[in-house]
Amino acid sequence: MISETMQTAINEQIKHELYSSYLYLAMAVYFDDIHLPGFAHWLKVQTDEERSHALKLVEYVNDRGGKVVFYGLDQPQSEYKSPLDAFQLVLAHEQKVTGLIHKLYDVAVKENDVATQIELQWYIKEQVEEEKNATLIVEQLKMIGDQRSILFAMDRHLASRGK
């Protein structure tokens, strides 16, 4: 059985994972609106991935005999100055999520909940990948600057994610 403290902390993380999905969907719409469908596709894949992270936690709480509670989500930002601006937010958001997962792990340690510590190791490793991917796109966008032809080439490349 999962402790009340651990259950509450995981439910809060479920909210953050769902918000990530919501944020990335809003960003995908932004990229569709500015005619960069490859960026939009990349973010739609990310939306599904974040939702799957939330579902994994939902199943974990259920498997441990806990109760899942869904909290309300804030409205995500939907307008950006540029693709770089949007992806800088992606990176900052992933860094925030990494910190939240580390705090969640700390709760598991304090609760002496070894099962949750083991479960969260997957999320910790996943966040390394998430930050790496976001950093790569941010750095490439910085290198591109205002070169539209290269931006369109990058758009085509991002469209291949998951295919």
Instruction: Dump pLDDT digits (tens) for 126-158.
Output: 999 999 999 999 999 999 988 888 999 999 999
Residue range 36-45: average pLDDT?
A: 97
pLDDT of 163 higher than 80: no
CA distance 69 to 12: 9
**How much is the pLDDT for 2?**
96
Per-residue pLDDT at 130 = 96
Tens-digit pLDDT profile for residues 46-105:
999 999 999 999 999 999 999 999 999 999 999 999 999 999 999 999 999 999 999 999
List own/partner pairs for 51-58 with CB under 8 A and 24 or more apart.
Answer: 51/17, 51/18, 51/21, 53/17, 53/20, 53/123, 53/126, 54/14, 54/17, 54/18, 54/21, 57/10, 57/13, 57/14, 57/17, 58/14
Structural domains of the chain in order of their starting residue, each with its CATH number? 4-158 (1.20.1260.10)
